[in-house]
Structure 1
Amino acid sequence: MTHIPAITGTGVFTPEQVITNAELVTAFNAYAERYNAEHADEIAAGTLEAKAPSSEEFIVKASGIEQRYVIDKSGILDPTRMYPALRQRSDDEPSLMAEMALDAAQKALAMAGRKGEEIDLVICAASNMERAYPAMAVEIQSLIGAGGFAFDMNVACSSATFGIQAAADMVRAGSAHRALVVNPEICSGHLEWRDRDCHFIFGDVATATVIEPADEAKGGYFEIRSTRCATEFSNNIRNNNGFLRRSRPDGVADRRDMQFMQNGRKVFKEVVPMVSQHIMSHLADEHVEADQLKRLWLHQANKSMNDFIGRKVLGREPAPGEQPNILQDYANTSSAGSIIAFAKNSEDFTEGDLGLICSFGAGYSVGSVLLERHG
């Protein structure tokens, strides 16, 4: 028997701590001044480039971001540190990622009217895992009391949509009956807060999605009409951290390329047309006109990128509410961004309304999920 998969619940975990642009700029500029003073001789000799100051105006113009939620702000805002101060947990404690995912999962399960033991597939889909193994998903599976099986997957910022496709395919085929896709993103841990070009980009969050057969939904649901994923290799967004690359050959551990890096101009130039064409092809194959979509829930990386994609797909300027942005409050939360946009901007859908979730990022990768509201 073939099942029609549906999203019946979503959940969002939002950290309590907030860093405003003003706070971030103050910390960064204090760090830059300190750095420039410590390296004044090299800077004067022309062998080292001085750190330029940041500003609130620069951040908003470059990204549209106004603040971000983080697990720890004290370490990030310390000019002598500039990264989160997260306590090392013992092996007997729940991991931080699993704890974040549990909060989002419980909210998604409550919306779906389900209990953890009714889940038989857990996918933890995120950009950076807290450890190599055991899989984060298996720990989350244990915490919610689920059966079946669980696994991790990483397609960077497209992890959520790729995870939804995998779960939907398994529900449709019957290899899993009811799935939970979780996206815990501790982006503050892999961001280089000392780099002016990117120090403002990321925030922390976790999202969760329940996927089950549409005919078993306990309330209103979003039928997953179709999904589409695509990848194309590029080094323009990358993080080289890993067990094979702990330090430079000289033993120095502070390697810049072991944190988030991107060539922003190339990314914009190459990803925007790739994503726009991906969405338009997906809709065409499903015989759906762009104007039939009530909403586009796009990956939350950069306002200019989203505005461009919205105009290209719709062939006009998106009307208010057609393409909601949440990055002004959350910043870029990697794979979780499009799911936050969906979770917070879908309650007004009625029977038959169509919408599309789309995420994109490192890889390059792009994933889209066409949804239809019922009930």
Structure 2
Amino acid sequence: MESTALTRPVISATGLWTPPHSISNAELVQSYNAWADTWNRENEAEIKSGLMEPKTHSSVEFIEKASGIKSRYVVNKDGVLDPDIMAPRLPERPNEQISILAEMAVHAAREALKKAGRDPKDVNAVICAASNMQRAYPAMAIEVQDALGIEGFAFDMNVACSSATFGIQTAADFIRSGNAKSVLVVNPEICSGHLNFTDRDSHFIFGDVATAVLVEAEDIAPKQHWKILGTKLKTQFSNNIRNNFGFLNRTAPEGVGAPDKLFVQEGRKVFKEVVPMVAEMITAHSSELGIPAGELKRMWLHQANANMNRLISSKVLGHEASDEESPTVLDTYANTSSAGSIIAFHKHSDDFRAGDKGLICSFGAGYSAGTVFVEKVG
């Protein structure tokens, strides 16, 4: 979908909130290996009889080679690193207190609003676009709206790791249609709550964070902003990335503790199928917009896996991308689901000059993918 000059949506500002706690690969490996040793001792008889396979150790080298991740931020460190718990432990808050996901979103939103010089009362809508919602209702977006003092309307949406780009297009469509002049998109993610820290193949993948994107009509945007040249979304059903957690699990025989109620994926299949899908989508969309790959100063790709990003960018650009052409935050933030590409954009866009073009791109479970081509103004 392309914008018209009369109703062009722009990105006025972004915001980022980072948790205070970071876990290195070495810390995570020590915790996992201690858990694995205990599990092997407790199941020694079954392992010796051949009924069970022993748990093998993880390693820093394995994690970095498989993902490019070196550390991740989390909202609770002690629970994750405790071999007897291996999960974040967050105290439940009373209904009268702001929920933790909304609180994270508010922090990121306030930074975006401040950067844009925008009063919350001037915002017309809030979209909470994220993978890991902490409840079904009331909508997280409405709680964020209330905390910030925003009038208008708010709603939640979940398209897994592509939630932010889907949220940006939805916000842009409100601007294009005249149904709003200013839309706040927030992406709070506590991914550590859905990660199986006892699964060697994925215990290192996710981190926690919150981002915000303020999408507005061009005529009210600050002098420096990002013109949205075009947005495109795509979905294709796949079971290769899945999380079965939900309220209906209360009736399941194995209950919410079963491994498939946490994050599971067929990593090799995801790599093989998502890389060409995303590369072809980017190339087709850039062609529709008349933007040759050579005109893109930077691609802010979803921070899922360093090898995936390297291959996608090389397919689009025709050569292996430099750190400037395709920056990463994966090494310090890990995979933060919907927020990943927005963190990269937020941290690696200050050097753009008027007329420079770039691409925000997401891809994830669903499968889902979104592209947002932007151009710096001012």
Is the shorter-chain TM-score for this pair beyond 0.5, marking a shared fold?
yes
1:24 to 16, 21, 28: 28
Give 5+ residue unaligned stretches, structure 2: none
- CA-based RMSD: 1.0
1:66 alignment partner in structure 2: 70
* 1:320 Cα deviation after fit: 3.3
* 1:252 Cα deviation after fit: 4.8
Instruction: Indicate yes or no: 2:109 matched with 1:105.
Output: yes
2:299 to 296, 310, 328: 296
Q: Distance in 1 between matches of 2:209 and 2:197?
A: 18
* 1:318 Cα deviation after fit: 1.3
Partner-residue secondary structure (3-state), 2:84 = coil
Letter in 1 for 2:266: N
Task: State whether residues 300 and 326 of structure 1, in contact with CA within 8 Å, keep that contact through their aligned partners in structure 2.
Answer: yes
1:283 to 283, 286, 291: 286
Letter in 2 for 1:318: A
2:238 alignment partner in structure 1: 234
Partner-residue secondary structure (3-state), 2:338 = helix
1:347–1:361 distance in 2 versus 1, CA, 3 Å: same
Q: Distance in 2 between matches of 1:173 and 1:2?
A: 10
2:360 alignment partner in structure 1: 357
Give the 5 Å matches for 1:202-241. 202-241=206-245
Q: Distance in 2 between matches of 1:180 and 1:66?
A: 31
Is 215-224 or 360-369 further displaced after alignment? Answer: 215-224
Partner-residue secondary structure (3-state), 1:200 = coil
Letter in 1 for 2:17: F
* 1:317 Cα deviation after fit: 1.6
Partner-residue secondary structure (3-state), 2:222 = coil
Q: Distance in 2 between matches of 1:253 and 1:330?
A: 27
Give the 5 Å matches for 1:190-205. 190-205=194-209
Deviations 1:301-352 (A, max 9, x none): 0000000001000011213300001000000000000000000000111111
1:38 alignment partner in structure 2: 42
Task: State whether residues 2 and 174 of structure 1, in contact with CA within 8 Å, keep that contact through their aligned partners in structure 2.
Answer: no
Give the 5 Å matches for 1:143-292. 143-246=147-250, 248-249=252-253, 251-292=254-295
Letter in 2 for 1:185: E
Aligned residues: 374
Q: Distance in 2 between matches of 1:248 and 1:207?
A: 34
Q: Distance in 2 between matches of 1:53 and 1:15?
A: 28
Q: TM-score, normalised by structure 1?
A: 0.98
